[in-house]
Amino acid sequence: MIAREWMDLLRVLHGAYNTLVALAFLYQGWLGMKIRKAGRTGGAKDFGVIKRHRGNGPVLALLGILGYVAGATLITIDKGHFFEYRVHHLVGFAIVILLATTFLVSR
């Protein structure tokens, strides 16, 4: 069994990690909007932005799914069962489904 102090630290790290991943997704969305705006106005395409957007997308999807798996593992180790926090689990699972769907549709 993991000591309570370690579990508390791991919870904070899990939240900080997922916050950073969410901020990275906002950046990813900003890049996408920049690409879309350039396409609509007929301006020159910035291939550096397109390359970053396409390169970061799959990595961010994987990082988001790993954040969910890490949280589920922490809860299972700490509480002994997976559905201790049902709403949190459902929201995380919905995010994972949306990430996977977005990744598959974009290919």
Binning pLDDT at 50, 70 and 90, where does residue 65 land?
very high
What mean pLDDT value characterizes the chain? Answer: 93
Q: How many domains does the chain have?
A: 1
Residue 60 CA to residue 24 CA, distance in Å, equals 7
Domain ranges, residue 51:
4-106
pLDDT at 1: 66
Residue 83 CA to residue 38 CA, distance in Å, equals 45
Give CA torsion, residues 97, 100, 104, 107, to 10 deg.
140
- Of 37-46, 70-79, 97-106, the poorest mean pLDDT is in 37-46
